[in-house]
Amino acid sequence: MKNQESILVLDYGSQYNQLICRRIRELGVYTELLPFDSSITKVLSLQPKGFILSGGPASVYDENAPKLPDWILKQNLPVLGICYGMQLLAEKFNGKVKSSSKREYGPAQIEILNSSPLFQDVKSGSHCWMSHGDEVSKVPPQFHVIARSFSGLISALGHEEKKIYGVQFHPEVSHTPFGKILLKNFLDICGCEFTWNLSSFIEDSIQQIRELTKNEKVICAVSGGVDSTVAALLAAKAIGKNLHSIFVDTGLLRKQEKEEVVSILSKFPMSFHLINGAKIFLEKLKNVKNPEEKRKIIGRTFISLFENRAKPLKARFLIQGTLYPDVIESSQDQNKLSAKIKTHHNVGGLPKTMKLSLIEPLRYLFKDEVREIGKKLGISNKILQRQPFPGPGLAVRILGEINKGQISLLRRADAIVREEVEKTDEITRLWQFFAVLLPIKTVGVMGDKRTYENVAAVRAVHSNDGMTASYARLPWEVLDRISSRIISEVKGINRVVYDITPKPPGTIEWE
């Protein structure tokens, strides 16, 4: 962010990295997650007040283990190492790290041995969350042990003069109740002013869009969802009549989706264009089974349609509502230690060369932050509370090859899921709820006759940002109605199952 102090989180591959960023932002300080080997030019451009070294799966004594860049310590800024990050600091300052005979995974308690500003207002005996197999076996010179776990392992150490600290547990997860207090203490040590807020983000974004486009024509990809709508309204405030919003009917939308979106978006203060691309997308996806290939094909096809529409408008820029979770999961901007979970059509699915210059004003925001911006922009709750719908649409909810018949089956089953859930109080608590068409058939009995038909899976989850999720414990009577209606009303489906997998290890979508 322009003229915004920040705390930089260096990515060493931990599954909890995005949570560190969320916690820091919740405390009022801007943060970004960067690869551990980022250039110093990139880092200093973000005006860091301090660094956090994330956890990760490696061992510091491995031959190819990721290291601590020399330039970090040369900045003379506070540093907090978490898990692997603490072990990196211990090794860097001539301590020792070894494989532990007392591996700690899950809940633990710590005993605070020495006072430290990092642990201000944290009580000895507090519970925390551990996830490590290595331990600091020798404390580096000039460092002191702040805390040990009840099993005797070093849980926190620090160099007060240099303001360098390490903790073996994970303060960013909810299983460490005092974690936010500790992170706030670190921000105080860094001298942060806690000025990050979404109102300043709106002002900065509008100004940046205006400066980037320089009074030229711009197209904006819109879907009717909160992300693209917020991105479009930010752009409309920045460039007014130079903005042209484009909605593509891919033929992979939910029941009545096109009609609802056109009704909503055509009322917004911007030029609105509808592209009917159903035949094109279906042809491009013919015989394609691999989910990664589906997403890439859909991403390329979207861009091709946008470029064709941009040409007569003489537009050079494309705005889209990419969010931080899309970037993180696609690992496009992350280092090689972070596994790519899946390619998002609007990130990793984009072609390497594009005729349009891409602008993504929400690229470093989480979903709840975008919804808050939407409120400030005056967007109605009907749009803000719309459940997330993937850009590839039903293509990633039909496992395997896609055809018109399968799309029709899934569209009808999904409509029943939504209709039944929306009748209940559960609707206000859920992040997403939908149906998935599985690539298998099962034997059934209907009307005293044998059937051999498709299986539909129902998915409903709770989440704050889409990065982690827990399955929703929908009432049995709701699931009973969903199952009964799908089997009775959707000819071609004779079995319904319910997905009770959290994220991780699963993902919210099946592909």
| Beta strands 217-221; 30-35: pairing state | unpaired
- Choosing from 21, 91, 128, 170, the catalytic residue is 170
Tokens (6 digits) for 361: 């004003």
Distances (CA, A) of 110 to 51, 224, 358: 24, 48, 48
Sorted by sequence, the CB contacts under 8 Å of residue 435 that are 6+ apart come out as 397, 410, 413, 414, 416, 417, 456, 457, 458, 459, 486
Torsion, Cα 98 104 110 112, to 10 degrees, reads 10
For the chain, how are helix, strand and coil distributed in percent, rounded to 5? 35, 25, 40
Residue 192 falls in the annotated catalytic set: no
Gap between the Cα atoms of 202 and 205, Å rounded: 5
Residue 172 falls in the annotated catalytic set: yes
Residue 216 falls in the annotated catalytic set: no
Gap between the Cα atoms of 11 and 141, Å rounded: 26
C-beta separation of 146 from 114 below 8 A:
yes
Gap between the Cα atoms of 458 and 496, Å rounded: 7
Gap between the Cα atoms of 403 and 424, Å rounded: 33
- Choosing from 5, 21, 32, 83, the catalytic residue is 83
Residue entry with tokens 């071609």: 492
Measured from the Cβ of residue 190, the count of other Cβ atoms closer than 10 Å reads: 21
Tokens (6 digits) for 396: 């990633």
Distances (CA, A) of 347 to 233, 339, 371: 21, 15, 21
Tokens (6 digits) for 113: 């041995």
Closest to 390 in 3D by CA, of 500, 317, 302, 304: 302
C-beta separation of 82 from 52 below 8 A:
yes
- The rounded Cα 128 to chain-centroid distance in angstroms is 24
**Residues with catalytic function:** 83, 170, 172
